[in-house]
Amino acid sequence: MVAIDDGDTLQVNIQSTWQLKRPQLQEKALQTSRLHQQDQACQSGERNSKSTQTDRLFKKYSDAVRGGPGLAAVVAFLNKVVPLIEVAIAENGLYTTQTEVDWTQEAPSDATLTHTLHAPDTATSPGSEQTCCTSVSWSSTGQGIAVSYGRFDVEGWCLQPGRLCTWNLARTNFDPNKPEVTLEVDSCLQCCAYHPQQAGLIAGGSYTGDVYVWDLSQEGDFQVFKSTLSASSHQEPVTAVSWHSGSADDSLHNGGEDADVLISLGSDGRLLMWRRQTAELLYGFELMWQHPDTRKMVLWGGTCMALPQQGFQQQPLGCLVGSEGGAVFRCSLDSNAAARQAFAQAVGAQQKGLVGSAIKSLVCQHAGPVHALSASPFDPNLALSCGLDGQARICSILLRQPLLELAPSDKYLFAAQWSPTRPMVIAIGTGDGRVFLYDLMHNLERPVRILDVCGSAQPVYGLVFNVQAPELFATTDQQSVKVWNLQEGLTKQRAKERQALNRLVADATAT
């Protein structure tokens, strides 16, 4: 062990010298020249971002699996069937959204009742039968609605007056129980149609064969013209009217004086064209075609008509016609100046001027009268029809067999129409008071929504989508018109919906 003791240490003292010599201080002034300041700004240049992605690598299963009994057979099987399954999934993706990647929530496909329109006093005299809603039409603004009142059960001569009633849903004084305009005609009014561009112009056809045009925008008398009875005019009920607005060089127009031509169809088998402003009968055809059993040429009575959408109207102008015998025909309305002149001379001499048949081909055949016909707004070759046989069919004028057949009810079908905004949505009205809304993108057989319009006691005689306001949808029963609000799922076109319609046609063509 080492002992530690205190001891003396060496000390060193250093004297401070900072006070021995003091510096001399003097005051002096100095000013620099004026400093000039300036602000400047700068910004970096534009940036461009680019990205790349490598091609998808399909690696064989055999590369990932090594060894083991039976693995070679499994790998060979997977390499064989996986490409086939991938192709099938891709094809099915055109028909249903379940197999597609959709980052947005699916829009609801519901419909709610917003208005119920009534026209009171439909029985105009004691002992007379009440009239019912025979057709309905939306105006070009999307807010006006016109309804014709007549009867479907008249036998023989009709003595029951008919009416045309209109409502404007946008008016502040709108009353669902009081039409804004009521026009009475001599006999049951069987059909009506708003002009596609002029909101105040309405056409109608009566049970006695009269064709009317009213202009609600003019003061005083709204009636523009009423057809006169002649050997070439309608001799039986007018079942459908439709407008054609063509160009000045259209073969139906004489020198472009009036681009509006009204087309009327009658149960007498006549298809007539009228000039709106002068009430002149421009031209007319008959529906002559072979009887399916006897093969003899017979006259077919017309029940409904559909013109292609304005964008599909080409020369020569054509239309689709449904008949009392169940046939759906493709018709041509083409004529030349010489034929129109000869027709006008025959009409002036009180002679029958109808020349030739408008029918060019048979599209499809129902087992009973065709009640409704609608042309597809997205394909000029497709049409939807329904009739007394309880069948609704989607047909193509290029194929003899229907693309799709639907039987939503065991009752008769009275109304059908294609959606103007959804290529794969259709509506069908039945005899048991219901409307079936089909979304063929979702399911080809089952409806996505069923509307209980009036219960099972009354049929749905008419339905119509709204082109200008797609959320509005109208249905008619015997005494009322119901306006429904459709949600976005039934009005907004979905991704690849046009391709799905094309695939439906392609599959039918392949079979």
Most confident of 232-236, 350-354, 506-510: 232-236
What's residue 84's pLDDT?
81
Do residues 266 and 209 lie in contact, with contact meaning Cβ atoms separated by under 8 Å? Answer: yes
> What is the rounded radius of gyration, in angstroms, for the C-alpha atoms of the chain?
39
Structure tokens at 191: 């059909």
Most distant CA atoms of the chain, gap in Å: 158
First to last CA, the chain: 114
Could you say which DSSP state residue 97 is in? G
Mean pLDDT, residues 99-127 taken together: 66
Identify the burial level of 15 via C-beta atoms within 10 angstroms of its C-beta, where 0-12 means exposed, 13-18 middle and 19 or more buried.
exposed
Whether 304 has a pLDDT exceeding 50, the answer reads: yes
Quote the Cα angle for 371-372-375, to 5°: 155
Q: Which residues, at least 6 apart from 474, have a Cβ–Cβ distance to it below 8 Å?
A: 136, 138, 145, 462, 463, 464, 466, 481, 482, 483, 484
How many whole angstroms separate alpha carbon 286 and alpha carbon 233?
A: 11
Between residues 140 and 157, the one the model is more confident about: 140
Residue 98: which pLDDT band, with cuts at 50, 70 and 90? very low
Determine contact, residues 385/426, Cβ cutoff 8 Å.
Answer: no
pLDDT of res. 376: 94
Residues 383-397: tens digit of each pLDDT: 999 999 999 999 999
Under the banding of pLDDT at 50, 70 and 90, the label for residue 189 is very high
Give the pLDDT confidence score for residue 246 in this predicted structure.
Answer: 62
- Phi-psi bin for 256: left (phi > 0), alpha (psi -120 to 50), beta? left
- Of 44 and 180, more confident: 180
312: which residues sit within 8 A by CB, 6+ positions away? 375, 380
**Burial category of 175 from C-beta neighbours within 10 Å (exposed 0-12, middle 13-18, buried 19 and up):** exposed
The mean pLDDT of 487-495, rounded to a whole number, is 90
CA dihedral 188→386→442→467, nearest 10 degrees, is -40
Measure the CA–CA gap between 237 and 134, rounded to whole angstroms.
13
Contact (CB, 8 A) for 422 and 491: yes
* pLDDT band for position 126 (cuts 50, 70, 90): very low
- Please tell me the predicted confidence (pLDDT) of residue 127: 47
233 to 211, 228, 403: CA distances (angstroms): 9, 8, 37
Q: Which residues contact 101 (CB under 8 A, 6 or more apart)?
A: none
Q: Is the pLDDT of residue 350 over 60?
A: yes
Return the pLDDT at 478.
Answer: 84
Cα angle value 23/26/28 (rounded, 5°): 140
Q: Phi, psi at residue 507, to the nearest 5°?
A: -65, -40
416 with 408: CB under 8 angstroms?
Answer: no
| Per-residue pLDDT tens over the stretch 235-274 | 999 999 999 876 444 445 444 444 688 999 999 999 999 9
Tokens standing for residue 13: 């003292």
Write the burial class of residue 351 (CB in 10 Å: 0-12 exposed, 13-18 middle, 19+ buried).
Answer: exposed
**Would the pLDDT of 474 be above 80?**
yes
pLDDT of residue 22: 64
| Mean pLDDT taken over the chain | 83
pLDDT of residue 203: 95
3-class secondary structure, 4 = coil
* pLDDT of 281: 86
Is the pLDDT score of 108 beyond 60? yes
Verify cis geometry, omega within 30 degrees of 0, for the bond prior to 316: yes
3-class secondary-structure state, position 203: strand
Q: Pick 292 or 16 by higher pLDDT.
A: 292
pLDDT at 498 over 60: yes
Residue 309 has pLDDT above 80, yes or no: no
Whole-prediction pTM = 0.75
Question: Does 10 have pLDDT greater than 90?
Answer: no
Q: Which of 24-38, 135-149, 184-198 has the lowest mean pLDDT?
A: 24-38
Of 330, 316, 312, which is closest to residue 249 (Cα–Cα)? 316
Residue 196 clears pLDDT 60, i.e. is over it? yes
The Cα angle at residue 99 between residues 98 and 103, in degrees rounded to 5: 75
Question: How many other β-carbons are positioned within 10 Å of the β-carbon of residue 478?
Answer: 19
Mean pLDDT of 277-301: 87
Beta bridge partners of 418: 426
Spatial contact of 409 and 432, defined as CB atoms under 8 Å apart: yes
pLDDT given for residue 57 in this prediction: 47
Residue 58 scores a pLDDT above 90 = no
Residue 61 has pLDDT above 80, yes or no: no
Q: How confident is the model at residue 300 (pLDDT cuts 50, 70, 90)?
A: very high
Q: Is residue 357 within 8 Å of residue 298, measured between CB atoms?
A: no
What separation in angstroms does the CA of 307 have from each of 210, 241, 264? 21, 10, 11
SS3 of residue 228 by DSSP: coil
Residue 357 DSSP symbol: B
Q: What are phi and psi of 128, to 5 degrees?
A: -85, 155
